[in-house]
Every structure is written in C-alpha cells, then in structure tokens.
Amino acid sequence: MIKRFLFLGLASGLTLAAGTAQAQTPVALGTSPYAENFNGIGTALPAGFGVYAAATTTTLGAAATFAVAATPWNGTTGGFKNLASANSVAAGSATTVQNAATDRAL
C-alpha cells in the first residue's frame, strides 16, 4: 500500500513538473565569441530567443510580452523593448532619430 501511494505521488509530481516546462528551440552556440544581431526585432525576436519574467533559480519564469514597436530611451515603463542601439545614435537624440535607427537593441 505504501509503495503504491509513493508511486502515485511521484507520478503526480512528474506530471505537474512536465506541465510547467517551456517549449523552445535554443540558440545554437558555435564559435566564440557568440554575437547576435537584433536589428530585425521590429517584427519578431531572433530565432531561439524569448523573453521571460519572474525567473527563479529553477524555472525560466512566465513568457513575457515583447513589444515590437520602436520605443524611445526615455520610456519609463518596465518590460522588454525594441530600442535604438547606442552604437549608432548619440545620447539625447530625438525620438524620431531613435525610431529611424536600424541598429537595434533588446
């Protein structure tokens, strides 16, 4: 009876754990250093990338929303955003200049 109870408890725990797994295709890391181009994030994240919130040491957290629209640097709301890279736009640039920049950052 105890073995049966332990088996059912273990099976239930595994079922619950499997239900919280995140399906994803990971980024294939090749030669070092690894570099990624985020210039296309105006339509979607690069293949293999995702954004998650509330991560812990044992889980990725919950899938979060990624806003594909260009966002100015002075935005004060939290979240994952499509920003102009500082490589191509000077500090203090107008929002129109930032939005027009093709070099993007996440």
Residue partners of 96: CB distance under 8 A and separation at least 6: none
- Give tens-digit pLDDT for 1-15: 444 433 444 444 433
The number of domains in the chain is 1
Residue that is written with structure tokens 């293949």 in the block = 47
Q: How far is Cα 105 from Cα 86, in angstroms, rounded to an integer?
A: 8
Range of the domain at 66: 2-105
- Strand segments, DSSP code E, in the chain are 52-53, 62-63, 66-70, 80-84, 104-105
The residue ranking higher by pLDDT, 35 or 18, is: 35
- Give tens-digit pLDDT for 73-85: 998 998 999 999 9
